[in-house]
Structure 1
Amino acid sequence: MFKIVDSLIKRYFSHEEVVVFILLLISTLFVLAFWGGVLAPVLIAVVLAFLLQGVVDKLRRIGINHTASVFIVFFSFMASCGVFIGVMVPIIWRQAVRLVNDAPRMFTVIRDTAQSFAEGNSEIVSQKAIDEVINSIATESANLGQWLVSFSLSSIPSLFSLMIYLVLVPLVMFFLLKDQTKILAYLTSWLPKERRMMRNIASEMNEQIANYIRGKFIEMLVVGIVTYITFLVFGLRYAELLALLVGLSVLIPFIGAAAVTIPVVLVAFYQYGTQNEFFYVVGAYLVVQALDGNVLVPLLFSEAVNLHPVAIIIAVLFFGGVWGFWGIFFAIPLATLVKAIINAWPNQALLES
């Protein structure tokens, strides 16, 4: 037994680079586990820097120097965010307030429809089952009200945190774009000079994460805009709010699309009942989701994501359970990192060749 363990250690853990990499990986996981909330502005800035770095590189390729490219991209991005916040946020906020106010009436419509269905189909659905559904709806409605009250009471300190984010995130993002080379040179100066494995992993992950973040941003925009146009054509209420939720749902693979379908169906049912428009809206929404999953995602992520759907779901559940939102957002890159480490991990025979 000891000979087997000794053989495995010599084969896979006998090189300085491997030991340094393990220590670095453990330290990173430890920091994220215990101080991830504190470092959230830095993580957001890193994500945005990855998103904008491709645009900076394109400007540099057409002859604009690095500093000017960074200033152009940074201020254009900040101006776009300012326009979105100034125009869309008030609209979405008003719709969210109206939706909360309409929620009790929505539950009443669902209850009345369920009771009518039970009375006309007593041989299929029992009144007891309908009563259980109604009681569940009433309970969830009460829970929703309690949550809204607690959220409103706890929102004051979060406003202070939001102000900190609005200052720190752009500042950190700007310096990450401007001084990327200096920052990387400083960080790599602490690593061993011979680090072929880490270079391979870093090169693969840098490309994978950049493609993934840009692809997700494009997918979010396309899905959100197409969904908004679809809802607008059918005259669905809360079109902007629901389109925003559908766009954000693409950040959570598979699970997000399933979760956001519930409010879309509820609002459509509340507005149209069992009329033909209800089925048209739901059908159009499902077509958008199908096109996203079968056309848009393969086009955007055919090279960035080479993982089985089961592996993606497991990664979402595992990393989401460990790191919450950031674990969900980076589930696919983290799963790709695990795969890259397995593929690049050296053994003694390879190191000696």
Structure 2
Amino acid sequence: MFDYLKQWYNRKFSDPDAVTLFLLVLLTFALIILFSDILAPILVAVVLAYLLEWPVQRMVRAGLPRLSAVGIAFMSFVALIVVLMLFLMPVIWQQSVALVAELPQMFAQVKVLLNRLPEMFPEYISQDNINHFIQTTTDRALVFGENILSQSLSRIIGIMALLIYLIIVPLLVFFMLKDKNQLLQHLNRILPTNRRLISQVSDEMNMQIMNYIRGKAVEVFVVGVFTYLCFAFFDLRYAVLLAVLVGFSVLIPYIGAAVVTIPVFLVALFQFGWTGMFAWVMIVYLIIQALDGNLLVPLLFSEVVNLNPVYIIGAVLVFGGIWGFWGVFFAIPLASLVKAVFTALSSKQELPPVPPEPQ
């Protein structure tokens, strides 16, 4: 066993560039795991800087100076955030408060509707199954409510931190865009000289991350707006809140769509009952999810490395458990990074021929 490991080590890490790449990835992961809370504002700023770098590059290619392009992109982004906070956030807050206040009545109505299922489908559903499901759901809802109350103080502290981020993050984004070349030069000075594989992986990942962040922003907007239009057409209550939840659910591959289906199902069932309108709402919602997964995602992420769904779900679980929301958000790029690193370490670089010794 020891000889096998020794041979594997000599085969994979005989190249100094491979050792440098492995140590850099290991150090980066360790820093994020140990200091994820402290680095959170920087991660947010990096995501937003990647998002705004695309329009900046387009304006620079059109002949505009980079500083002017950065100013236009940054001010447009700030204006968009202000508009959302002034017009969209109050509506979301009002609908959230109304939905929370209506939850007890909603659960009572859902309980009545569930008790009707044994009468409608006596061959498939029994009253014991319904009672067990209701009891289990009620117990979990009580535990969830207790957790919310116990964490109220930490939520207040989180709100204060959010207010601080509203000042720090925009400043970081502006200077990351403005001084991009200077920051990259500083980074190059820190990196070791044996960085051939680092450059290979970073060039590949830089384009993938930019396309991924830009594609996710477009996907959130398109899915959210289209969902709101469909829900508003059916006059579904809390349409804005549900559309925002559906839009942001695309940030969590596969799992997000399954989780956000629960509030959509409950609100539609509470409003329409077991009627044809309820069926139409759920059918349209499932069509939106199908179009997103089979049409929009392949169109937006054609330049991102294709990964098997098993790898994506595994990355969501692993990186989400390590880094929380950011681990889930970057699950696909991180999985692509791991794949790129293994590809770089497994690639066999041809060594230059040794010149003959002079006779």
TM range (shorter): over 0.9
In structure 1, give the amino acid aligned to 2:74.
F
State the match for 1:70 in structure 2: 70
Unmatched tracts of structure 1, length 5 or more: none
Q: Could you say if the C-alpha distance between residues 351 and 32 of structure 1 is closer, same or farther in structure 2, counting changes exceeding 3 Å?
A: farther
How many residue pairs get matched? 353
State the match for 1:34 in structure 2: 34
Deviation at 1:130, TM superposition (A): 2.1
Greater Cα shift, 176-185 or 242-251: 176-185
**1:168 and 2:168 matched:** yes
The 8 Å contact of residues 20 and 195 in structure 2, kept in 1 or not, is answered as no
Please give the per-residue CA displacement for 1:79-134, whole angstroms capped at 9, x wherever unaligned.
Answer: 10010011100100000011111111111011111223335655543332222122
Greater Cα shift, 115-124 or 221-230: 115-124
Take 1:261 and 1:246, find their aligned partners in 2: how far apart are those partners?
8
**1:179 and 2:172 matched:** no
In structure 2, give the amino acid aligned to 1:61.
R
The 8 Å contact of residues 47 and 213 in structure 2, kept in 1 or not, is answered as yes
State the match for 1:114 in structure 2: 114
State the match for 1:80 in structure 2: 80
In structure 1, give the amino acid aligned to 2:10.
K
State the match for 1:134 in structure 2: 134
The 8 Å contact of residues 21 and 197 in structure 2, kept in 1 or not, is answered as no
Deviation at 1:322, TM superposition (A): 1.8
Deviation at 1:348, TM superposition (A): 6.7
State the match for 1:188 in structure 2: 188
Take 1:196 and 1:20, find their aligned partners in 2: how far apart are those partners?
9
Unmatched tracts of structure 2, length 5 or more: 354-359
Q: Could you say if the C-alpha distance between residues 123 and 280 of structure 1 is closer, same or farther in structure 2, counting changes exceeding 3 Å?
A: closer
In structure 2, give the amino acid aligned to 1:181.
N
The 8 Å contact of residues 107 and 137 in structure 1, kept in 2 or not, is answered as no
Local SS of the residue matching 1:193: coil
Deviation at 1:307, TM superposition (A): 1.1
Q: Could you say if the C-alpha distance between residues 171 and 159 of structure 1 is closer, same or farther in structure 2, counting changes exceeding 3 Å?
A: same
**What's the C-alpha RMSD, in Å, of the aligned pairs?**
1.8
Greater Cα shift, 156-165 or 207-216: 156-165
Take 1:191 and 1:151, find their aligned partners in 2: how far apart are those partners?
42
Take 2:288 and 2:348, find their aligned partners in 1: how far apart are those partners?
51
State the match for 2:257 in structure 1: 257
Local SS of the residue matching 1:37: helix
Please give the per-residue CA displacement for 1:5-55, whole angstroms capped at 9, x wherever unaligned.
Answer: 444333321233222222211111111111001110000000010111011
Take 1:170 and 1:65, find their aligned partners in 2: how far apart are those partners?
21
Within-5 A mapping of 1:2-13:
3-13=3-13
**1:304 and 2:304 matched:** yes
In structure 2, give the amino acid aligned to 1:115.
N
- Which TM-score applies when normalising by structure 2? 0.93
Take 2:188 and 2:264, find their aligned partners in 1: how far apart are those partners?
48
State the match for 2:89 in structure 1: 89
Take 2:95 and 2:288, find their aligned partners in 1: how far apart are those partners?
22
Q: Could you say if the C-alpha distance between residues 111 and 346 of structure 1 is closer, same or farther in structure 2, counting changes exceeding 3 Å?
A: closer
In structure 1, give the amino acid aligned to 2:100.
V
- Which TM-score applies when normalising by structure 1? 0.95
The 8 Å contact of residues 320 and 331 in structure 1, kept in 2 or not, is answered as yes
Within-5 A mapping of 1:312-327:
312-327=312-327
State the match for 1:125 in structure 2: 125
In structure 2, give the amino acid aligned to 1:336.
S
Q: Could you say if the C-alpha distance between residues 240 and 12 of structure 1 is closer, same or farther in structure 2, counting changes exceeding 3 Å?
A: same
Take 2:40 and 2:349, find their aligned partners in 1: how far apart are those partners?
41
Please give the per-residue CA displacement for 1:165-184, whole angstroms capped at 9, x wherever unaligned.
Answer: 11111111111111111111
Deviation at 1:144, TM superposition (A): 4.1
In structure 1, give the amino acid aligned to 2:139.
T
Take 1:19 and 1:296, find their aligned partners in 2: how far apart are those partners?
39
Q: Could you say if the C-alpha distance between residues 123 and 279 of structure 1 is closer, same or farther in structure 2, counting changes exceeding 3 Å?
A: closer
State the match for 1:47 in structure 2: 47
Take 1:114 and 1:184, find their aligned partners in 2: how far apart are those partners?
59
Take 1:8 and 1:145, find their aligned partners in 2: how far apart are those partners?
52
The 8 Å contact of residues 17 and 192 in structure 1, kept in 2 or not, is answered as no
Q: Could you say if the C-alpha distance between residues 160 and 8 of structure 1 is closer, same or farther in structure 2, counting changes exceeding 3 Å?
A: same
